[in-house]
Structure 1
Amino acid sequence: MYGIDLHNNKDRYFTIGDNKRQKFAFLPFKRQITVNKVSPVKLELEKFKSEQLKEAEISLHLTDKQENELSSLLYDHRGAFASEKEPLGAIIGHEADIILNIERPYPPLLRRPAYPESPKSREALETHIKELLDLGVIRKVCHNEEVEITTPVIVAWHNGKSRMVGDFRALNTYTVPDRYPIPKIQIVLTQISQAVYIATMDAFKGFHKNVVTPRPRKYLRIIVHWGVYE
């Protein structure tokens, strides 16, 4: 194995081994090498596609151009998608208010005890409560707080998956109806009948995205065997 000595002077040559007299010159290289700068927006777009769109099922019938246009459109509205920092969004611009049609003291029907649960359902209920606490959707009511209205919850099972459901039938009886306009499904389907492409999106925990004004939140307290949550 021979050593190579580089001589970085105006002549720029190198020698091999002990023969210092035989000099080797470098081949001229006039081609300029350019490195394309990657746009920060493009980097954010690729990150958005790999993280927030990783579970999206994009049609294989789209061309590369159409898929890129779709990804750019979704990226422009990335605030509507869940992320690690914001796993659960909220409806912006509308806060629900609850007005009771009765005065205090409230009837005993509004102060309900917790429903009995099987060990399996109770374990699932504990998991749901913990998840909502971690997401910041609910909080535990302290022992020194006045509690006048409580709603029991049940665990509904479907295809092996559990779902926590509040039995708000009693509260609905004493609540002033909210006549909020909701589009009819027939009108919605008519509006999209001429669409070439249709996208469907599922709202993660859609019911918990409804923001309630601070005053009536105490009406929505749920009760379980180990405490009350709001």
Structure 2
Amino acid sequence: MRRSNLYINAACSQGLGAALHQRQIVDGEPREGVTCYISRQLKDSEARYWATQTECLCLVWALEKLHYYLEGAVFEVYTDCTILKSLQKMKTTNRHMLRWQIAIQEYRGNMTIIYKEGKSHTNADGPSRWSMDNVKSNPAYDPEDSAKTPIHFMEIDRKKNFRFSEWAPESDTLDSGKTDSE
């Protein structure tokens, strides 16, 4: 069974970054390879969050953007923020943290959050610090993002070739009242 690892990192005043890796057997050896990197810059209001809030935001954002890969999968999340380990059980009155706790509940039982020291947690550090602008020339341009925050989506194939993906779902919601015949 292929297992996934999600590495997340938030550069406190700069951006969010995540790297999705997949573990599989190649030539009889267990290996971990990059599936994709994603990143975006922080909005003005998000840049004022505490470090813990920014890391929680990064987790929720990465789960939202990568849900096509992660839905139904058993995976581990690696973070350099120790508080995230207790996010699912945390009792808080902070409205952001409470909303994020609810947002990750669908992954409960499939997701394990693991602390990894910052020095050895470099997978998602680069994407969080050098995110791309959310403009039409960006292959991962998101026209529905009202704040026009940058989103970067890059894939690496088995031959270590980098390419920017132009794939994006048409919609995350079903159009009510429309049928296939319309």
Q: Same fold per TM (> 0.5)? A: no
So what's the TM-score if we normalise by structure 2? 0.20
Name which one, 1 or 2, has greater alpha-carbon Rg: 1
User: Which structure ranks higher in relative contact order (CA pairs < 8 Å, sequence separation ≥ 6)?
Assistant: 2
Query: Greater helix share, 1 or 2?
Result: 1
